Amino acid sequence: MRLKNKVAIVTGSAKGIGEAIVRDFVNEGAKVIISDILEAEGQALEEELQKKGYSVYFFKTDVSSEKNIQELVKFTVEKFGTINILCNNAAVNIPGSVIELTEDIWNKTMDVNVKSHFLVSKHVIPVMQKAGGGSIVNTASANSFVAEPRLSAYVASKGAILMLTRAMALDFAKDNIRVNCICPGWVDTTFNDAHAELFGGREAVLKDLASVQPIGRPIAPMEIAKIATFLASDDSSCMTGSPVIADGGITAGV
């Protein structure tokens, strides 16, 4: 029970890696707000976990809307009294080179992937300051270090999150708020499907995965969730501003 009675918000957590984080957090004793634009999936997860006796609520949130984010923070404090952990996890992955991308796609990518980390943190940090500290786990990527063809907006967004993590770590260390980021490789969710379509489809990419991800298999969402739990807990108490690379070897060499 490494997160006993800690209060956590996990954005983009109705499915995929976020859902796995929610499941591991409640298992470790945390009270969790599931936050996503996907209402049916979020409510189903809330219902399943509440039936098992866990303290969870779903709150529908678009992380690109400051008004929605303020409502999310208010809801969390009303339900659980404080916030100790924030996982900025929601993102979109819309493929394309700069001549294929539209301005709207660029803006959406930056809003959902980067501005969200800024705005959710902006509204959560004052609550953490009042609580005497906290842990923020941002979601960067192997793409924070290495690019991929036809993925410009996404790659740029993940590069930004790495440096935002470091900047936030410097600003709030004095408040006992740690800020780290996880940098996953190819994780087994539907997130990469649209990009994979440009390269022969998901099955073709998986067949050849070892050529980019040396472990030769997709990473399971729960493998990433375990790292989020480590970063959220006191087990990582001396870490702040750190990218934790969990990429099956993608960035190890050429």
Ligand X SMILES: NC(=O)c1ccc[n+]([C@@H]2O[C@H](COP(=O)([O-])OP(=O)(O)OC[C@H]3O[C@@H](n4cnc5c(N)ncnc54)[C@H](O)[C@@H]3O)[C@@H](O)[C@H]2O)c1
Q: Annotated active-site positions, please?
A: 154
**Under rule CB under 6 A, residue 95 binds ligand X:** no
* Sole window of 24-32, 69-77, 186-194, 202-210 interacting with ligand X (rule: CB under 6 A): 186-194
38 near ligand X, rule: CB under 6 A: yes
Look-up of token digits 């690109």: 64
Q: For residue 147, with 0-12 CB atoms within 10 Å meaning exposed, 13-18 middle and 19 or more buried, which class applies?
A: middle
Q: Which is nearer to ligand X, 106 or 129 (CB)?
A: 106
Which pair of structure tokens corresponds to residue 6? 């800690």
From the number of C-beta atoms within 10 Å of its C-beta (0-12, 13-18, 19+), residue 41 rates as middle
| Residue 63 engages ligand X in binding (rule: CB under 6 A) | yes
Residue number of the CB closest to ligand X reads 16
90 vs 231, beta carbon nearer ligand X: 90
Order across the sheet with 177-184: list the strands: 56-60, 31-36, 7-11, 85-88, 134-139, 177-184, 243-246
User: Which of 186, 197, 254, 191 is CA-nearest to residue 223?
Assistant: 186
Stretch that binds ligand X, among 50-58, 83-91, 95-103, 126-134 (CB under 6 A): 83-91
Of 129 and 226, nearer to ligand X (C-beta) is: 226
Nearest CA to 231 out of 16, 28, 94 is that of: 28
Alpha carbon distance 170, 214 (integer Å): 33
Binding mask 98-127 for ligand X (x = CB under 6 A): --------------x---------------
Of 219 and 237, which CB lies nearer to ligand X in the complex structure? 219
Contact flag: residue 92 with ligand X (CB under 6 A): yes
Are residues 128 and 177 in contact, defined by beta-carbon separation less than 8 angstroms? yes
Determine contact, residues 180/137, Cβ cutoff 8 Å. Answer: yes
- Closest to 97 (Cα-Cα) out of 154, 140, 14: 154
Binding flag, residue 139, ligand X (CB under 6 A): yes
* In the complex, least distance from residue 82 CB atom to ligand X, rounded to whole angstroms: 22
Supply the minimum distance, in Å, between the C-beta of residue 191 and ligand X: 3
Give min distance, CB of 192 to ligand X, in A. 5
Binding residue for ligand X (CB under 6 A) from 135, 152, 165, 192?
192
165 binds ligand X (CB under 6 A): no
Residue whose token pair is 């050429």: 254
Contacting ligand X (CB under 6 A), which of 184, 196, 225, 236?
184
- Interface residues with ligand X (CB under 6 A) are 11-12, 14-18, 36-38, 61-64, 89-92, 112, 139, 141, 184, 186-187, 189-192
